[in-house]
A and B are shown apart, each in its own frame.
Chain A
Amino acid sequence: MSLRLDGLGLSAGGQAVLHPVTVELPPGLPNVLLGPTGAGKTTLLRLLAGLDRPTEGRIFAEGTEVTGLPPRRRSVAMVYQQFINYPSFTVYENIASPLRVARLPKAEIEARVQEAARLLRLGPYLQRRPLELSGGQQQRTAIARALVKRAALVLMDEPLANLDYKLREELREELPKLFAESGTVFVYATTEPAEALLLGGRVATLSEGRVTQFGMAGEVFRHPADLATARVFSDPPLNEAPARVQGGRVLLAGEVALPVAVSGLPEGPCTIGIRAHQLSLEPLPGAVPLAAEVRVAEVTGSESYVHLDVGGMNWVVLAPGVRRPEPHEAATVWLDPRRCLVFGADGRLAAEAALAEAA
């Protein structure tokens, strides 16, 4: 099945909590809602689940309107950030619970539980109780319970946020396989850009109650439609610089001209955005040097994040290898115009990074 949102929005007290959104969510690949806390991810999930009623717009499941239906009458399952299981039930009983409620025949329940347990590698733990398991296993149990219903829609609200880093990595790898194998529509909320990319599906970026862009993760990452999207979808944060368009050229502070084609952009202020990995501390052909001062450097083992003060702006550069420059040391950062995103005064993307595809 697929899910279509048609101008779906929610306002409270005359203020829009979620601006109207129109998208089509297909099955197979995860649909990731990406945005910081308070951007409206949970609001949208609750509307999709039927826990809240939208103040405008409609929801269609497989062409049939489901807008006003209570959650009970929709085919929907939910996984939360907290590991929610029945503590007195065994893992088997936990997974089987929605099927028992639906009064399925015993043999059918057995088959489905075993299938879900196999997919989520819970086989050895079926007779244990949730609290005897690790966090990762507890969350797997909750996911298995959501999957076993074969609901048409599975909603996940930051399901990995409370797990250890390495466990997260493991589950991030397993989840896309689960998504691909079922005909269910998956909607997955997260605050982390890396997670949105790893899950390898579609991404809807959210900022201040607005869905700013919807498309394949890699596509949205490389071609953000506006500044809000680029900000939400950058980790480390997007490096920004105020600039202005003058005589068809982009001028940075200090009259540094960037050779970027900005046809269609009116004269006046604009914003330059560039991601940390696209800046360089070494000269690049065609790049513009900018004077900077080192704030601090963070070493990850194979790479270094060097935080710089570039004319009063806080920038971060991802440099290969181990670098430990001293604070306040002078540095030069090389800005490749072909990797810059130029946003107009209204926040819309005006000039694309020409080399976006390459990296």
Chain B
Amino acid sequence: MARIGFERLAHGYGTGGYALKPMDMVWEDAGAYALLGPSGCGKTTLLNIVSGLLRPSEGRVVFDGAEVTDLPPERRNVAQVFQFPVVYDTMTVRENLAFPLRNRGVPAKAANARVEHVAALLGLTAMLDRRARNLGADDKQKISLGRGLVRDDVAVILFDEPLTVIDPHLKWELRSRLKELHRQVPVTMIYVTHDQTEALTFADRVVVMSEGEVVQVGTPEALFDRPAHTFVGHFIGSPGMNLLPCAVAGREAVLEGGARIALPRAYPALAGKVELGIRPEFATLAREGLPVSLRRVEDLGRRRIARVELAGRPFAATLPEGMPVPAEPCLALDLARLHVYADGRLAEGEA
């Protein structure tokens, strides 16, 4: 078990550029964290710093108050599950699971008991004596995970996009099992992904990263309800948050076309690029409201998304269940859910 701290941590590439910009953060013991962001945002760099595969160029990494910045992976009590399943081909499932224990000189009897226990947790008991090479990708990922869980000293389990090569149906199975497992085995879990659904459903707290910087840390609902940055608004949600350039004065926003929208809070004078943000979930197509022109309707099976144009910009809205497409479509906005952003950052208003 471990509480992980980063103190003035940064990683630079010789030329002065940062792959990871300086940050301070603490991850609580036994928490489920997700690092979410597009390729190249620095999430894998951060993961490798936690595991010890990469030494940060600045700052310290602290596990439970003890500095581990210079310790190699094998001395950090971390386990890792990779994007492509890593199993030891020539070994059986049992030998694979026992491998980390054998390397640490655990007696065979104790090791076997641990292996049986972990196999039961992961539903691998029936295949313990089969060769690992012949199994499907999902079972191989379970083995990778099992090699981490089998050590009773393991403090952190790291997941590097572990579901990439898994079929959608098996993803559900594996993900929920992972989540159940986290309830039973109190270790810190860190899950790196570019897939918001995976990040939000897995983690208690999601760390959203962009261009080497942490832009927001929060619960799934906080990221959904109050994105601190337009990047978070866009990145979380499918489709992401609608952002409309506007001018804000007090309790009113004026869109480019001149349309006026009442705001739930009063805002001071804002500098820079001012945008109004609203999620498609809170903008529904209706018979009255802001007139828009309809471009296209996407049928997602369990809901429909109306792609419309508002003030000359594309805008995604919800077409309510059972409602026929209106002849003169308008937008009804849930005003309480509107947010104002100045230069990309959430502007705080006064109620």
| Chain A residues proximal to chain B, CB less than 8 Å | 36-37, 134-135, 164-167, 169, 191-194, 197-198, 200, 217-218, 221-222, 231, 235-237, 275, 277, 295-296, 298-302, 305, 307, 316, 318, 322, 327, 357-359
Query: Is residue B288 contacting chain A, with contact meaning CB distance below 8 A?
Result: no
A165 touches B298 (CB 8 A): no
In the bound assembly, the distance between CA atoms of A218 and B237 in angstroms comes to 22
As a 0/1 sequence over residues 223 to 248 of chain B, the CB contacts with chain A under 8 angstroms (1 = contact) are 11100000000111111100000000
Most buried by A among B234, B235, B281, B302: B302
In the complex, besides A134-B39, A197-B300, A200-B298, 6 extra interface pairs with C-beta distance below 8 angstroms are A169-B240, A191-B168, A194-B301, A200-B299, A302-B224, A359-B303
Question: Is there contact, CB below 8 Å, between A358 and B322?
Answer: yes
**Within 8 Å CB of B144, what residues of A?**
none
* Cα–Cα, bound, A167→B168 (Å): 18
Query: In chain B, what residue has the closest Cβ to A322?
Result: B221
Assuming the contacts A200-B298, A300-B201, A301-B236, asked whether A295 and B38 have C-beta atoms less than 8 A apart, the reply is no
Q: B180-207 CB contact bits vs A (8 Å, 1 = yes)?
A: 1001000000000011110011100000
Docked Cα-Cα span, A305 to B167, in Å, equals 18
Minimum distance in angstroms from B258 CB to a CB of chain A: 28
- Shortest B338–chain A CB gap in Å is 16
B194 touches A166 (CB 8 A): yes
Could you tell me if B176 and A296 are in contact, using CB atoms closer than 8 angstroms? yes
* B38 with A236: CB separation less than 8 A: no
Which residues of the partner chain B approach A295 to less than 8 Å between Cβ atoms? 176, 180
B179 at the interface (CB under 8 A from A): yes
A233 nearest in chain B by CB position: B301
Q: Known interface pairs A221-B301, A275-B302, A358-B322. Does A301 touch B200 (Cβ–Cβ under 8 Å)?
A: yes
Q: How far is the CA of A192 from the CA of B171 in the complex (A)?
A: 11
Q: Is the CB of B200 within 8 A of A296?
A: no
B175 at the interface (CB under 8 A from A): yes
Identify the closest chain A residue to B201 (Cβ): A298
CB <8 Å contact, B195 and A305: no
User: If A300-B220, A302-B281, A322-B221 touch, does A198 touch B300 (CB 8 Å cutoff)?
Assistant: yes
- Measured in the bound complex, the distance between the Cα atoms of B304 and A218 in whole Å is 11
Q: Is the CB of A300 within 8 A of B298?
A: no
**Chain A min CB distance to B33 (Å):** 14
Decide: A198 near B169, CB < 8 A? Known: A164-B39, A300-B197.
no
Of listed B175, B221, B281, residue having the most chain A CB within 10 A: B221
Q: Which residues of A contact B221 (CB under 8 A)?
A: 299, 301-302, 322
A300 closest partner in B (C-beta): B200
Min CB–CB distance B47 → chain A (angstroms)? 16
Please give the distance in Å from A208's CB to the nearest CB on chain B: 14
Q: Pick the contact of B321 from A36, A135, A359 — CB < 8 Å?
A: A359
Q: Are A296 and B180 also in contact (CB < 8 A) when A36-B167, A301-B221, A322-B221 are? A: yes
Q: How far is the CB of B305 from chain A (nearest CB, A)?
A: 9
Neighbouring B residues of A305 by C-beta, 8 Å: 201
Kindly state the separation between the CA atoms of A33 and B202 in the bound complex, as whole angstroms. 29
Quick check: A165 and B39 within 8 Å, CB to CB? Answer: no
Q: How far is the CA of A190 from the CA of B209 in the complex (A)?
A: 28
Cα(A164)–Cα(B223), bound, Å: 19
Q: Which of A193, A198, A299, A316 contacts B200 (CB 8 A)?
A: A299
Lowest 10 A-B CB distances belong to which pairs? A301-B224, A298-B201, A277-B302, A164-B194, A301-B220, A165-B195, A218-B299, A296-B179, A36-B167, A221-B301
Complex: how many Å from CA A213 to CA B282?
35
In residues 278-318 of chain B, which contact A (Cβ within 8 Å)?
279, 281, 298-303
> Which of A166, A322, A359 has the most C-beta atoms of chain B within 10 angstroms of its own C-beta?
A166
Q: In whole angstroms, how far apart are the Cα atoms of A31 and B172 in the complex?
A: 26
Q: Of B194, B196, B302, which is within 8 A of A359 by CB?
A: B302
Let me know if A237 and B169 touch, CB within 8 A. Answer: yes
Contacts of B175 in A (CB 8 A): 298
Cα A231 to Cα B220 with chains together (Å): 28
* Minimum distance in angstroms from A148 CB to a CB of chain B: 25
Whole-angstrom distance between the Cβ of A97 and the nearest chain B Cβ: 26
In the complex, what residue of chain B is closest to A236 when comparing beta carbons? B172
Q: Which residues of B contact A235 (CB under 8 A)?
A: 168-169, 172
Interface centre among A221, A298, A301 (most CB of B within 10 A): A301
**In the complex the two chains form, is A327's CB within 8 Å of B237's CB?**
no
Closest to A35 in B: B167
Within 8 A of A (CB), among B16-42: 38-40
| Assembled-state Cα–Cα distance A191/B169 (Å) | 9
Distance between Cα atoms of A4 and B302 in the complex (Å): 31
Proximity string of chain B (208-219) to chain A, C-beta cutoff 8 Å, 1 when within and 0 when not:
000000000001
Instruction: Please determine whether B172 and A166 come into contact, CB atoms closer than 8 angstroms.
Output: no
Which A residues are CB-close (under 8 A) to B194? 164-166
CB distance A358 to B321 under 8 Å?
A: yes
Q: B201 contacts A166, CB within 8 Å?
A: no
Q: Which residues of B contact A221 (CB under 8 A)?
A: 301
Q: How far is the CA of A54 from the CA of B333 in the complex (A)?
A: 55
Closest to A231 in B: B169
Which B residues lie within 8 Å of A357 (CB)?
A: 322
Chain A residues closer than 8 Å to B200, beta-carbon distance: 298-301
- Shortest CB-to-CB span from A200 to chain B, Å, is 7
Shortest A355–chain B CB gap in Å is 9
> Are the CB atoms of B168 and A192 closer together than 8 Å?
yes
A-side contacts of B196, CB under 8 Å? 165
Shortest Cβ gap from B18 to chain A (Å):
19
CB contacts (< 8 Å) of A327 on chain B: these are 180, 183
CB distance from A193 to the nearest CB of B (A): 7
- Which B residues touch A299, using CB under 8 A? 200-201, 219-221
For residue A34, give the distance in angstroms from its CB to the closest CB of chain B.
Answer: 10
Known: A165-B196, A237-B169, A296-B176. A301 touches B223 (CB 8 A): yes
Between-chain CB contacts (< 8 Å), 13 pairs = A36-B169, A134-B40, A164-B194, A193-B301, A194-B301, A197-B300, A231-B169, A299-B219, A299-B220, A301-B237, A318-B302, A359-B303, A359-B322
Residues of B within 8 A of A236 (CB): 172
